[in-house]
Amino acid sequence: MAEQRWVPLESNPDVLNKYIHDLGAPSKWQFVDVFGLDDDLLAMVPQPVVAIMLLYPLTEKVEGSPIGDVDTGVLEKAYFIRQTIRNACGTIALVHALANNKDKIEFDDSKYFTKFLESTKTMSPEDRAGFLEKDSNMGNIHEESAQEGQTQAPSREDEVNPHFVAFIHQDGGLYELDGRKDGPIRHSDSTPETLLQDTAKVLRKFMDRDPENINFAITALVQN
């Protein structure tokens, strides 16, 4: 069977917010830009921060220097889905950010994300990926959001280098959720209050692997 491909998402709060609100997140929950990792710039980000999304380039330098270790033990508590659709990393990261904060975000049950979570909550990460491949509702919402960017959306056939991952707090730790990996990656101890600052430390390591590359974009899911 031919590989399934979606149109890549843009790392743009307007795009991401349309997406999560179409899925059923209340308007008070929004993605905002994180303009830098210095303390002064981090202090400008509204609190509480419940998830951070990073868009970064998958270069040889990056791929050759992995950071953190997979912790499959946290799968009993964390929602994790594998990525089997090309260019769907933006949706995978959004699902990770939202699903792991369902105790904080009161989703509109008339919108689709509640049904998606209910349908997949007991599945393995691989079975969730298979469900998403066949899920026209999520595919259509992704497609609509991908066309909302400030630049013309790439073709679904394009080979894109940037990759989205999400960072969350779970069970006293800071976890990176990347659908290409075998499970969540634990980076450090953390708390809900220090999630942004703890993630910033890890993001500096990401950037240090390829310091000449400036193609990084950071957004935070906050309650305004």
Which residues are tagged catalytic?
Answer: 89, 163
**Contact call for residues 170 and 73 (beta carbons, < 8 A):** no
Closest CA to 92 of 9, 174, 21: 9
A 10 A CB-CB count for 23 gives 24
**Contact call for residues 84 and 4 (beta carbons, < 8 A):** yes
CB within 8 A of 35, min separation 6: which ones? 41, 44
Taking the C-alpha atoms of residue 172 and residue 153, their distance in angstroms, rounded to an integer, is 38
Q: Report the Cα–Cα distance between both ends of the chain, in Å, rounded.
A: 44
3-state secondary structure of 84: coil
Label each residue of 17-61 as H, E or C: HHHHHHHCCCCCEEEEECCCCCHHHHCCCCCCEEEEEEEEECCHH
